[in-house]
Structure 1
Amino acid sequence: MPVENGPERALVVMAHPDDADFSCAGTVATWTHAGVGVTYLMVTDGDAGGDDRTGDGVDMATTRRAEQSAAAELVGVRDVRFLGYPDGRLMPSLELRRDIARVIRQVRPHRMIIPSPDRDWSHIAPSHPDHLATGEAAINAVYPDARNPHAHPELASENLAPWVVPEVWLVHGSAPNHYCDITDVIEQKIGALAAHASQISDISELDAALREWLGKNAAAGGLGEDRLAEVFQIVNTA
């Protein structure tokens, strides 16, 4: 599907609550403004997050589910799903592939955003092992699992027909090839990040750093020094 042809439905698969808001919430806001139906799928509840938390992992998971739902609402996403895998212990298992493939067959997206499964040695933070595992499981769920009628027979027994996702947008891909201008929706992105109060203590400090980073992205993409952009590697998966 050409980039200029907007999808009817999109699916964003991320490891933790707040991953989508850091990586692609601005892009998602531009899509929902254009009438695209977007679903968020969070593989974990983020139960291991929060350096200064006072409760246990169950309390944190409950908090982070609520924060992610509120953040999604701010960028026009009302379908937010959680698989409930343990935070910090993800593996790209057949079970995880099946569970992502199930949601692909349910949502039937024309475009997906997922983490890159490749480690970035120049900047280690995006290469959290949960991100890598989610990216590996998600791309395998796209190809071949979701489209193969014989993969995961239990999905067929749930009357979920195979589905081909035409394109996948990788976050932190090794060969970025698309810069999405989010200048007009930056306040929505910042608002979505601010909803994650258990993880972000100073949104004003993050705001400044984020605008600098997004501005560098826009300049690298030739959009102009006064613009802000999120960056992706678009992969044809048709």
Structure 2
Amino acid sequence: MPALMSPTDRVVAVVGHPDDAELMFYGTLRAWADAGADVTVFVATHGAAGISLADQAAGTQLAPGDRPAESAASYEGTGIAVECLGLEDGALRPDRPLVSAIEAALARLGCTVLLTHAVHDGNDHQDHHAVARAALNAAVRVASCTTVLHGQPHNAHSHVAPTVLVDITAYIDDKVKALARHQTQAGRYYLSEEFTRHRAAEAGYRLLPQRAADGRYFEGLVPSLLLLGQPERS
């Protein structure tokens, strides 16, 4: 992947909730940004419904701006922009309004590389499915978009098997810190340092075991479009 990362890329990660991009792509987005690319995280929902049953029982409520602010804080000082469409989470559908909103964002940002959720993982969140389908639908009509990559769901029962690895060893500590910014989600196993390091090592052990054994960390992706030899971008 590093050989494909160009400073002329315009990378857009389209995700369902605040924290999704950090979970799937944090190190990848940092690597692209450090290569000189323009990087934006586009979040479909405000995520205010994302509280545990125990918190609900205790009367905990989140404001629509709480979780997007945590996501923005995760990228503080990195040059990566965060935008939130502000839709209500839990009931997204890949319908015309969502597709149109994503298409408008991709066109406005001049997207050349789209990162989004996996499309066919039946164990993943319903909002993730909707965003992935809507993003793919939208990307077809954005001529600048020549690369589409899907992230590995953080669901422990995911059936997605990555075929592309991005070495994020240089960013693993920052990824742990970025996920810790999501204090409204504290206690969720997939945000823990232990799970983050385990999953980043596991991706390598399946495909590059020697590098994983040497202590390298990875984020796993699945490409659905990878156009090589594309013309110079402006």
Normalising by structure 2, what TM-score?
A: 0.83
Q: Secondary structure at the match of 2:42?
A: strand
Q: Give me the identity figure in percent.
A: 27
Task: Give 2:223's aligned amino acid.
Answer: I
Question: Structure 1 residues 76 and 186 mapped into 2: Cα distance closer, same or farther (>3 Å)?
Answer: farther
Name 2:42's counterpart in structure 1: 41
Deviation at 1:175, TM superposition (A): 5.2
Name 1:5's counterpart in structure 2: 4
1:212 aligns with 2:198: yes
Task: Give 1:217's aligned amino acid.
Answer: A
* CA–CA distance in structure 2, aligned partners of residues 203 and 191 of structure 1: 15
Structure 1 unpaired stretches of 5+: 148-162
Name 1:152's counterpart in structure 2: none
Kindly indicate whether the alpha-carbon contact (under 8 Å) linking 2:17 and 2:46 is maintained by their aligned counterparts in 1: yes
Name 1:62's counterpart in structure 2: 65
Name 2:224's counterpart in structure 1: 235
Name 2:75's counterpart in structure 1: 72
Deviation at 1:55, TM superposition (A): 4.8
* CA–CA distance in structure 1, aligned partners of residues 11 and 116 of structure 2: 11
* CA–CA distance in structure 2, aligned partners of residues 75 and 221 of structure 1: 29
Name 2:232's counterpart in structure 1: none
Q: Secondary structure at the match of 2:13?
A: strand
* CA–CA distance in structure 2, aligned partners of residues 71 and 97 of structure 1: 26
One of 82, 92, 95 as aligned partner of 1:93:
95
* CA–CA distance in structure 2, aligned partners of residues 204 and 64 of structure 1: 16
Kindly indicate whether the alpha-carbon contact (under 8 Å) linking 2:45 and 2:89 is maintained by their aligned counterparts in 1: yes
Kindly indicate whether the alpha-carbon contact (under 8 Å) linking 2:23 and 2:191 is maintained by their aligned counterparts in 1: no
Deviation at 1:174, TM superposition (A): 4.1
* CA–CA distance in structure 2, aligned partners of residues 84 and 184 of structure 1: 32
Question: Structure 1 residues 206 and 50 mapped into 2: Cα distance closer, same or farther (>3 Å)?
Answer: same
Normalising by structure 1, what TM-score?
A: 0.82
Task: Give 2:69's aligned amino acid.
Answer: A
Name 1:155's counterpart in structure 2: none
Question: Structure 1 residues 174 and 208 mapped into 2: Cα distance closer, same or farther (>3 Å)?
Answer: closer
Question: Structure 1 residues 206 and 116 mapped into 2: Cα distance closer, same or farther (>3 Å)?
Answer: same
Deviation at 1:200, TM superposition (A): 2.0
Structure 2 unpaired stretches of 5+: 153-158, 228-234
Name 1:160's counterpart in structure 2: none
Q: Secondary structure at the match of 1:41?
A: strand
Question: Structure 1 residues 183 and 193 mapped into 2: Cα distance closer, same or farther (>3 Å)?
Answer: same
**Post-superposition CA distance 1:106-139 (Å, at most 9, x none):** 001211100012124xxx3xx1000000000000
* CA–CA distance in structure 2, aligned partners of residues 175 and 199 of structure 1: 26
Question: Structure 1 residues 237 and 92 mapped into 2: Cα distance closer, same or farther (>3 Å)?
Answer: farther
Deviation at 1:88, TM superposition (A): 0.2
Query: Size of the alignment, in residue pairs?
Result: 212
Task: Give 1:232's aligned amino acid.
Answer: L
* CA–CA distance in structure 2, aligned partners of residues 55 and 205 of structure 1: 20
* CA–CA distance in structure 2, aligned partners of residues 202 and 235 of structure 1: 30
Name 1:129's counterpart in structure 2: 126
Deviation at 1:235, TM superposition (A): 2.2
Name 1:170's counterpart in structure 2: 150
RMSD: 2.2
* CA–CA distance in structure 1, aligned partners of residues 83 and 129 of structure 2: 20
**Post-superposition CA distance 1:127-164 (Å, at most 9, x none):** 10000000000000001xx33xxxxxxxxxxxxxxx33
* CA–CA distance in structure 1, aligned partners of residues 203 and 190 of structure 2: 20
| Displaced runs of 4 or more, over 4 A | 202-205
Name 2:174's counterpart in structure 1: 188
Task: Give 2:35's aligned amino acid.
Answer: A
